[in-house]
Amino acid sequence: MISKKLSEAYNNGDPFTRFQNLPKRIFLDSNVLQYLNDFGKYIFDHYRESGDYFLSSNGRKISKENRLYNEIVALGKIFLGIDRANFEFAVSKSVLKEVLRKKDGSYTQWFFDIWQHWQSIVKSYNGSAFSRRATMNLSKINGDKSIVQGISKEDRLILFDALRFDCNVILTVDRYRNRQNEIYDKYKTMILYPTDFIEILEPFRALYL
Identify the sign of the CA torsion 131, 132, 134, 135.
positive
Measured in degrees and rounded to the nearest 5, phi and psi for residue 28 equal -95, 115
Per-position pLDDT tens, the chain of length 209: 334 688 888 899 898 888 888 889 999 999 999 999 999 989 988 777 667 889 888 888 999 999 999 999 999 988 886 666 789 999 999 999 999 999 999 999 999 999 999 999 999 999 999 999 999 999 999 899 988 888 888 999 999 999 999 999 999 998 767 788 899 999 999 999 999 999 998 888 776 55
In angstroms, the CA 128 to CA 132 distance is: 10
Identify the sign of the CA torsion 163, 166, 172, 178.
positive
